[in-house]
A and B are shown apart, each in its own frame.
Chain A
């Protein structure tokens, strides 16, 4: 266990994460709280996607589809009058079931073929959301005129402000990190890493490849769906524009730039890719507003060239990369 040795830092980190947004909120800076909340959502997605990409080595370019499925399922349930807490398990089941249905036939594909199939699936989901007017209200988004997404209630308390949702997101993020951490250090986690390194050797060691991969794939999908559920309750509106292919690509970029396989690396990657555009927005101002994405693209290239292994790679992967010399 590496956890106890780091505890002072984690304690400091938790303190910052718990108190700073509250301070900002009291100062009236809703914008900063919103950005931190958004970072939280992407962290949940990052942790979820990491289970597929980082642990199992399956490149998933359509992960945003499960975020979308979660968001739309939650919106439909909420409009039907089902509360957030009651809807949550349903969202998880729906997300997990679709993930399983997708995973069963495609998980035997390797590397880039899997990547392109997941990409295709991501696009299919987005297009279905646009075209299935009767259920999703098409491009106009949910809720429809006269409908409302119910507020999230915690006993008598109703979550309305950014800061409320921030703490909700934080709780779910911690749960996701916990699950991810347990997974990595469990028998299943070791099996996943064995598969990533060498499928053949893993099979010979008695690992049921199909089942192990599917479990990781499904857990990852469920985490994505939950993130969508929270997002839609926070935003009170959902439309297909939010789930483009670029969102999936951005997520993968967060993982790789932060350092795959390592939860801390992912958090750093998310902070970087969500916060950098915001910092650029503030610093460039109105005069240079058009140059923001140019700077962002350039920065991505520069970071990856100087830290190809990511900013905080997992120790195991870092060792592998040193040892192997990285022959493709």
Chain B
């Protein structure tokens, strides 16, 4: 049973981790909690849903291409949405106090959630199960192909992102921007462009997490972003916000703790224990597991 719980926890953690990457990237560059990220996740899931149901038959016959197309649509859409939100709701506030964009983000979040509820539906939408799931059993532990797929995708997204950040010119420019906007600008970096790219990538990953969430659980709803959003953000903080490895480790850690708590202690007290762990981690490591000391003010 322990290994089964581990598998459950790792799958859950993969989704948290992918989701947390978006929070952490935006935080790294702008030092803001992007509350609207959970709505980007939700919109991504809906875009994937429409792509899955509406793509013409000739595409559907060609399985790998079909999935690539579905993911591409959802990720592009979510990425563009994130960029639009940044342009409209955050950019005018770049020079304001740090709480102003937070409030703007909350407004965007309320707006998007209710917009989807009214224009699409207040009900859950069953997700088309086009993904042929094969079940495997190893020593009594149930694993299915979707779980493996999600895990692999999460890991490769993280590795690609890490390589991108550390090895490419654009990635280096992003890290420079994260350190200091003014100095980066003096070095010839187009800060606005870098921020746009950050939101594009973060949003696309959020959209990807949304589609995977829909596929894995089989239903989506307008408020689906809230719970995982809270957990993913917590994961990003536990790992050390602004740090890509941290978001990943935090995500897996949270998923595994959650599964094991439910398995061995209590389902009702699961989130209490989760948040207690969060508080303890931060008391003993005030900047998270991988975080660095930064001084900041609100």
Contact = CB atoms under 8 A, between A and B. Distances in A.
Q: Which residue, A106, A249, A328, has most C-beta atoms of chain B within 10 A? A: A328
A57 B298 CA distance: 6
Interface stretch (B75-83, B91-99, B126-134, B142-150): B91-99
Given A297-B109, A300-B110, A328-B98, A112 B237 contact: yes
Given A112-B237, A116-B278, A128 B98 contact: no
B114 A297 contact: yes
A252 interface: yes
Contact of B283 (A106, A291, A299): A106
A118 B283 CA distance: 12
A112 B283 contact: no
Contact of B269 (A57, A116, A131): A131
A147 interface: no
A300 B103 contact: yes
B87 to A, nearest CB: 12
A117 B108 CA distance: 24
Contacts of A325: 95
B297 A196 contact: yes
A94 B288 CA distance: 31
A257 B107 CA distance: 11
A245 B227 CA distance: 11
A291 B116 CA distance: 11
Nearest to B242: A112
A48 B229 CA distance: 28
Contact of A290 (B102, B106, B118): B118
B97 A252 contact: no
Q: Which residue, A130, A296, A297, has most C-beta atoms of chain B within 10 A? A: A297
A88 B276 CA distance: 29
Given A293-B110, A299-B107, A304-B103, A108 B271 contact: no
A116 B106 contact: no
Contact of B95 (A110, A124, A304, A326): A326
A309 B117 CA distance: 31
B3 interface: no
B31 interface: yes
Contacts of A308: 92-93, 95-97, 100
A16 interface: no
Given A115-B33, A120-B278, A297-B114, A305 B287 contact: no
A113 interface: yes
A98 to B, nearest CB: 14
A252 B103 contact: yes
Given A131-B272, A297-B114, A111 B298 contact: yes
Nearest to A200: B295
Interface string A289-320: 01101101111110011001100000001000
B30 A328 contact: yes
Nearest to A288: B118
Interface string A242-286: 000100010011001100100000000000000000000000000
B114 A120 contact: no
B286 interface: yes
Contacts of A304: 93, 100, 103-104, 107
Q: Which residue, A111, A197, A296, has most C-beta atoms of chain B within 10 A? A: A111
A131 B287 CA distance: 31
Given A249-B106, A308-B97, A326-B96, A298 B298 contact: no
B276 A301 contact: no
Contacts of A293: 110, 113-114
Contacts of A294: 111, 114-115, 118
Nearest to A299: B107
B116 to A, nearest CB: 10
A260 B103 contact: no
Contact of B96 (A111, A130, A309): A309
Contacts of A237: none
Given A297-B108, A304-B93, A326-B95, A112 B33 contact: yes
B234 interface: yes
A116 B298 contact: no
A298 B112 CA distance: 9
Contact of A120 (B35, B88, B103, B275): B275
A109 interface: yes
A140 to B, nearest CB: 15
A59 B234 CA distance: 16
A321 interface: yes
B100 A256 contact: yes
B152 interface: no
A124 B272 contact: yes
B2 to A, nearest CB: 25
Given A120-B278, A127-B271, 4 more contacts: A106-B282, A124-B271, A256-B100, A300-B106
21 contacts: A53-B298, A113-B237, A119-B230, A120-B234, A121-B275, A127-B271, A127-B272, A249-B35, A249-B106, A252-B103, A291-B114, A294-B118, A301-B107, A301-B108, A304-B104, A308-B92, A308-B96, A321-B96, A321-B97, A326-B97, A328-B98
